[in-house]
Amino acid sequence: MELTRSEQIILKFFATHSGATLYESEIAKSIQISVGSANQSLKELSKKEMVSLEKRGNMNFYSLNLDNPLVRQFKITQTIS
């Protein structure tokens, strides 16, 4: 599975903030990418089941999907390096 650069950056961010549930603009601001880029990347990561999406009203909140074996392995790799 190939990931874009923005998707990789988002996953790295979540690997160090694995318990966090954040709104997409909070994520974009934290990793210094545009909200549009964050939105697109988060949608793709959600489709790939690497992040979980929780809708609250008209807001989308995302968190790392630790039920996904690839995500768990990625998190371990990030912790080691």
- Measured from the Cβ of residue 64, the count of other Cβ atoms closer than 10 Å reads 25
Q: Evaluate if residue 17 carries a pLDDT over 90.
A: no
Angle between helix 24-31 and 35-47 (nearest 10): 120
Give all strands of the β-sheet with 59-64 in edge-to-edge order.
22-23, 59-64, 51-56
Q: Evaluate if residue 27 carries a pLDDT over 80.
A: yes
Give the end-to-end CA distance of the chain in Å, rounded to a whole number. 21
Ordered by start, the domain boundaries in the chain are 5-80
- Least confident range from 9-13, 16-20, 40-44: namely 16-20
Threshold 0.85, pTM exceeds: yes
Does domain 5-80 bear CATH number 1.10.287.610?
no
**pLDDT at residue 1, as a whole number:** 75
Q: Evaluate if residue 62 carries a pLDDT over 80.
A: yes
Beta-bridge partners for 56: 59
Band (pLDDT 50/70/90 cuts) for residue 74 is confident
**pLDDT at residue 33, as a whole number:** 95
**pLDDT at residue 19, as a whole number:** 84
